[in-house]
């Protein structure tokens, strides 16, 4: 078996484990379902993954390019096995599940290589799968971590909105599927709403043990990020960087008015808008920046995209690997009143793969 044969076997398995990644990559045949991450569902996949890894280690490569690809693929397999067998986000992190759920809808909505009818049929399948997917989440999440639950709380609020907007958008594009989309979206919305009760309970009972530990951190540095540095080395680098930044702050403060830089920071913080004023202040600054660019004709400015509305916390980069087209979208959720008032975090992420 050649390296490319093993590579194809890996990706066949990978799309089975993560059908949302298949949608994101433009691979057909997986758009109407979600992955399953309970112990019973993962066990055969992980066994197959180990078999592929063993075969890959014994497979000859033709040239340096294949050797590089084989090393990258082996590292990906090692990371996947470590993630699901040791780190186990499926057992501690509801955000892991909800990112998969909402990302599956979001990537369908943005996909440019499916017809409206194909997207509608796929969306019906995924929406119909949401209740069972959430049941698997409940059964698998054994050790919820509070900080991850807080993120999940924000995601469900935006997720319900995304479900409705998906059905509306795809229903208008493919009217023949509108009724089924609406029905599936209603059931998915109910399932997400009832899931809130689990989140409330996990907020109360969740642990604070969110860190994966130094050994796992070093493992991911090496195999996922291809860094030779370990945690202590990065710690020393961070301390040195902190010292350099503080020296720069001292110089800047001296040049401004001679006061210590912490006092200047406190002054600037005093000028910061209150939480109730923040959105309006941000909108005004964005409008001012836009007017500046438009007045000087620094670049063409298009109209505001219709699909830029509030949605889930998961920010994604939709990738069409065949046409090498990369589309970015930022999704930000609002503050949730259900979270502790002492911990009002903003949930915004930019992620993606190439």
What pLDDT does 123 receive?
A: 96
C-alpha 227/C-alpha 218 separation (Å) is 9
Beta strands in the chain (DSSP E): 316-320, 325-329
**pLDDT per residue as tens digits for the range 200-221:** 889 888 888 888 889 999 999 9
**pLDDT per residue as tens digits for the range 132-184:** 999 999 999 998 999 999 999 989 988 999 999 999 999 999 999 999 999 99
What pLDDT does 339 receive?
A: 57
Both tokens of residue 113? Answer: 């290589």
Closest CA to 108 of 93, 125, 92: 125
8 A C-beta contact, residue 98 and residue 155? yes
- Distance, C-alpha 354 to centroid of its chain: 14
User: Mean pLDDT per segment of 10 residues, for the chain of length 354 residues?
Assistant: 93 97 94 95 96 94 93 96 95 95 94 93 97 95 92 90 94 95 96 91 87 91 91 94 94 87 86 85 92 89 53 36 40 50 44 38
Closest CA to 220 of 75, 325, 12: 75
C-alpha 173/C-alpha 191 separation (Å) is 25
C-alpha 61/C-alpha 73 separation (Å) is 13
In angstroms, how far apart are the furthest CA atoms of the chain? 71
What pLDDT does 186 receive?
A: 96
**pLDDT per residue as tens digits for the range 234-244:** 999 999 999 99
What pLDDT does 340 receive?
A: 56
What pLDDT does 303 receive?
A: 63
What pLDDT does 243 receive?
A: 96
The label of the residue with tokens 């050649």 reads: 2
C-alpha 137/C-alpha 120 separation (Å) is 25
Burial grade of 262 (CB within 10 A; 0-12, 13-18, 19 or more): exposed
C-alpha 91/C-alpha 143 separation (Å) is 6
8 A C-beta contact, residue 74 and residue 56? yes
pTM equals 0.73
Beta strand pairing call for 316-320 and 325-329: antiparallel
């Amino acid at each position: 078996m050649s390296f490319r044969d093993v590579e194809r076997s890996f990706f066949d398995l990978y799309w089975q484990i993560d059908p949302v990644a298949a949608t994101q990559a433009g691979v057909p045949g997986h758009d109407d379902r979600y992955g399953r991450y309970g112990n019973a569902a993962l066990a055969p996949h992980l066994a197959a993954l180990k078999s592929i890894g063993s075969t890959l280690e014994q497979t000859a490569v033709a040239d340096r390019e294949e050797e590089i690809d084989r090393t990258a693929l082996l590292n990906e397999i090692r990371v996947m096995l470590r993630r699901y067998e040791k780190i186990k986000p499926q057992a501690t992190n509801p955000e892991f599940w909800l990112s998969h759920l909402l990302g599956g809808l979001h990537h369908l909505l943005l996909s440019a290589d499916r017809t409206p009818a194909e997207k509608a049929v796929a969306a019906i399948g995924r929406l119909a799968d949401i209740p069972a997917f959430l049941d698997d989440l409940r059964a698998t999440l054994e050790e919820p971590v509070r900080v991850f639950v807080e993120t999940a709380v924000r995601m469900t609020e935006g997720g319900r909105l995304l479900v409705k907007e998906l059905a509306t958008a795809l229903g208008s594009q493919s009217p023949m599927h509108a009724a089924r989309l609406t029905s599936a979206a209603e059931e998915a919305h109910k399932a997400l709403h009832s899931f809130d009760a689990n989140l409330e309970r996990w907020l109360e009972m969740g642990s604070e043990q969110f860190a994966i530990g130094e050994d796992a951190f070093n493992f991911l540095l090496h195999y996922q990020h291809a860094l030779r540095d370990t945690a202590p080395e990065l710690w020393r680098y961070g301390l040195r960087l902190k010292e350099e930044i503080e020296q720069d702050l001292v110089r800047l403060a001296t040049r401004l008015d001679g006061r210590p830089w912490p006092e200047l920071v406190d002054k600037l913080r005093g000028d910061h808008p209150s939480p109730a004023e923040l959105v309006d202040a941000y909108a005004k600054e964005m409008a001012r920046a836009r007017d500046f660019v438009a007045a000087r004709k620094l670049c063409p400015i298009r109209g505001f995209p219709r699909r830029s509305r509030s949605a889930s916390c998961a920010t994604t980069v939709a990738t069409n690997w065949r046409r090498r087209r990369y589309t970015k979208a930022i999704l930000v959720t609002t503050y949730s009143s259900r979270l502790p008032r002492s911990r009002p975090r903003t949930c915004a992420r930019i992620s993606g793969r190439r």
